[in-house]
């Protein structure tokens, strides 16, 4: 492998104002890029969570799903999140987040058209 492929060249001015070329190893860029991606995902997650919290508190959520439970009771909800075991939702006229297990409780999750 060529030495020029292992480095990225950057121009830096030193204290006397003379431009000087310096080589930065690529190995330094990989952790920086990984950190940038991590910060991006965490920042977006926190931002979306804060927005959802304010919508729930102000009652500005739009229902987009109908949940049918095992006893065939149906409710209209806004699904906030889901993992393999639990469903996180807010009911149509409530301002509280509800968490319910998926496996034993929910018979059907149906997407409804948002107006």
Domains (ranges, CATH) in the chain? 1-58 (no CATH), 61-115 (2.30.30)
Q: Is the pLDDT confidence value at 104 over 50?
A: yes
Query: Average pLDDT in the 36-59 region?
Result: 93
d(CA 3, CA 8): 10
pTM (2 d.p.): 0.66
Band the pLDDT of 113: cuts 50, 70, 90: confident
Q: Between 15 and 5, where is the model more confident?
A: 15
CA 42 from chain centre, in angstroms, equals 7
Q: Between 28 and 16, where is the model more confident?
A: 28
| pLDDT value at residue 22 | 63
Distances from the Cα of 92 to the Cα of 7, 48, 50, 72, 80, angstroms: 57, 20, 20, 18, 13
Query: Average pLDDT in the 26-35 region?
Result: 81
d(CA 93, CA 61): 9
Band the pLDDT of 26: cuts 50, 70, 90: low
Mean residue pLDDT of the chain comes to 83
């Amino acid at each position: 492998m060529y030495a020029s492929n292992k480095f990225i060249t950057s121009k830096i001015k030193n204290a006397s104002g003379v431009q000087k070329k310096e080589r930065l190893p690529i190995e330094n860029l990989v952790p920086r890029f990984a950190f940038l991606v991590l910060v991006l995902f965490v920042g977006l997650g926190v931002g979306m969570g804060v927005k959802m919290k304010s919508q729930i508190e102000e009652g500005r959520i739009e229902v987009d799903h109908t949940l049918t439970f095992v006893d065939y009771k149906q409710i209209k909800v806004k699904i906030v999140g889901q993992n393999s075991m639990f469903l996180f939702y807010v009911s149509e006229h409530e301002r509280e987040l509800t968490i319910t297990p998926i496996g034993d409780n929910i018979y059907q999750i149906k997407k409804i058209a948002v107006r």
